[in-house]
Amino acid sequence: MSKIITSANQQNDALFVLIKSLTKSEKRQFNLYVGRLGGNIDAKFFSLFKFLEKLKIYDEKVIIGSGIVSKQQLSNLKAHLYKQILISLRLNPAHKNVRIQIREQLDFATVLYQKGLYKQSLKLLEKAKNMALDHEEKNVAYEIVELEKVIETQYITRSISNRADQLSIQAKELSQQNVIASKLSNLSLQLYSHLLQNGYVKNEKEVQFVETYFNDRMPKYDYQTLGFREKLWLYKAHLWHSFLIQDFLLSYKYAKKCVYLFDNSKLIHSHPVFYLKSKNYLLEASFLVKKLSTFKEELVGFETEIENKEIPLNTNTELLIFLYLYSNKLHLHFLEGTFEKGEYLVAIINAKIEKYRNRLDNHYVVLLYYKIACLYFGMGKNRECIAYLQKIIKSKNLSSAEDLQCFARILNLIAHYECGLDYDLERQFVDTYKFLLKMENLQEVQKVFLTSIRDLSDVFPHEIKNEFKKIHTKLKTFENHPYEKRAFLYLDILSWLESKIENKPIALIIKEKAKLLTK
């Protein structure tokens, strides 16, 4: 893991990351773009592009040593190259999404207005505005109306007597809708940030804080006047609120509402990232409430959409599809207890992690490592499980993932116990205990389990099953506890204990439970 982090730090230069993200067609487009500029084919910025394209690790000493540019000129040349690449990407047909097309029409209309060609400008603005409203791009629609108003003050069309009134009313409606959307998106973002920083609520005091925070910041609105965008932010605000208070049935309800908003392919193509996130929220909520049949149905539908190219594919959506599809493929094997059938996913996930390394946040990488570790644990391959857990435990930049670090260490203890690595178990216990002591909000589940697992070392072999029963009884009381149940989201300790008590593989225990999750 340290090697991975070092490599990532060496390659976090913005220009270098941008160049490495370019597809073959985008590189070809840039070569053509530079060629069209005339006389630039030998320019320094193009030479720098070709050099960085071949470079595996960003190193300024190597760049300066190439003789392309001096140390004093490097910063300016990099900025110029960065700008030229962005211009080229903007011209690329593959990036001509609706938002860019609308902006382009607005830019053209502004040029015409500045030349005094008011009628032509207004014609383009009307076209751009209709496109913006049709695709729920209300911020830019408001900008267009404001420019229309400016032009109307200098050029009265006379063709429509109430033109000024129409524009004033439209501007007011768009402004109100944008304000509502902004307030709802702010609330959604703040709740999501709170979840990342503090995790799920842990006691009644935290519940009251979240409820007050949520209700005080929820703007007043008339549901009948809300459009697609306002409803989406409203549902997402409710979604993060429900996740925070651990009401996962409510999370499922609002995730479903988010997905159902995309009732036509036009909205999916206009807002593919919102759609992908909504699908993932629905899959995650289905997983958390253990709706197995719904989860399978949604996952199959998601795969079909991807295979049929119903979701626009670009470097951004490609990355999200990888994260969401493969995380949920693993979740399916967790729900069904079919761990061995999921082992093929490990090689695919590792290959894709390497492919997207420059653009993947380390948090997502270790989250996938944890899921892989759980897969191996379910298969009874505890040494492989430990290997992936060590990648998480040794990772140094996971300040926002305390829960993940905590359960990685607890699962590490269990895997060592299963392997019979008694010589290392005491050291692992001490390391885990020291880490957990640093956590401010250690859960009762964690405290009880940690104490119990340590006591096992003093138990005679013939008494071990009875001790497992005692631990299971203690932990079972927390299974549906409003603030403690989150512990079982990360690690199915109860199924593991049941496997020890009944002397069955954990996969078989989970398969038996899966039979009850058909609805």
Report long-range pairs for 56-59 (Cβ below 8 Å, ≥24 apart): 57/7, 57/10, 57/11, 58/10, 58/11, 58/12, 58/13, 58/16, 59/10
pLDDT at 7: 42
- Max intra-chain CA distance, the chain: 97
pLDDT at 232: 96
Q: pTM of the full predicted structure?
A: 0.81
∠295-296-301 over CA atoms, to 5°? 100
- The helix/strand/coil state of 341 is helix
- The helix/strand/coil state of 12 is coil
∠425-427-429 over CA atoms, to 5°? 70
Q: Specify the DSSP class assigned to residue 67.
A: T
Q: Specify the DSSP class assigned to residue 399.
A: T
Can you read off the two tokens belonging to residue 126? 């009307």
Can you read off the two tokens belonging to residue 364? 């997502």
For 309, other C-beta atoms within 10 Å of its C-beta total: 8
For 222, other C-beta atoms within 10 Å of its C-beta total: 8
pLDDT at 456: 64
What's the CA gap between 304 and 173, in Å, rounded?
39
Query: Burial of 472 by CB count in 10 Å (0-12 exposed, 13-18 middle, 19+ buried)?
Result: middle
What's the CA gap between 446 and 413, in Å, rounded?
12
Q: Which of 274, 375, 379 is nearest to 389 (CA)?
A: 375
pLDDT at 1: 40
pLDDT 10s per residue in the chain (519 long)? 434 333 444 456 889 989 988 888 889 889 888 887 765 556 888 899 999 998 888 988 899 888 888 888 899 999 999 999 998 888 876 666 788 889 999 999 999 999 889 889 999 999 999 999 988 899 999 999 999 998 887 765 555 567 788 889 999 999 999 999 999 999 999 999 998 888 788 889 999 999 999 999 999 999 998 999 999 999 999 999 999 999 999 999 999 999 999 988 888 988 999 999 999 999 999 999 888 899 999 999 999 999 999 998 888 899 999 999 999 999 999 999 999 999 999 999 999 999 888 788 888 899 999 999 999 999 999 999 999 999 988 876 655 567 788 888 888 888 888 887 666 666 777 777 777 777 666 677 777 777 776 666 666 666 677 877 888 888 888 887 877 777 777 778 888 888 888 888 888 888 888 877 654
What's the CA gap between 406 and 384, in Å, rounded?
19
pLDDT at 2: 39
Give the phi and the psi of residue 313 in degrees, each rounded to 5.
-105, 120
pLDDT at 201: 86
**For the chain, which domains are there?**
2-95 (no CATH), 98-159 (1.25.40)
Amino acid at 31: N
pLDDT at 455: 67
Terminal Cα-to-Cα distance of the chain (whole angstroms): 40
Q: Which of 437, 508, 509 is nearest to 472 (CA)?
A: 509
What's the CA gap between 116 and 200, in Å, rounded?
58
Q: Which of 51, 54, 39 is nearest to 77 (CA)?
A: 51
What's the CA gap between 382 and 395, in Å, rounded?
20
pLDDT at 374: 93
The Cβ-side half-sphere exposure at 63, using a 13 Å CA radius, reads 27
Contact 513, 337 (CB under 8 A): yes
3-state SS, 89-132, equals HHHCHHHCCHHHHHHHHHHHHHHHHHCCCHHHHHHHHHHHHHHH
Can you read off the two tokens belonging to residue 92? 């690329």
Q: Which of 240, 114, 224, 138 is nearest to 187 (CA)?
A: 240
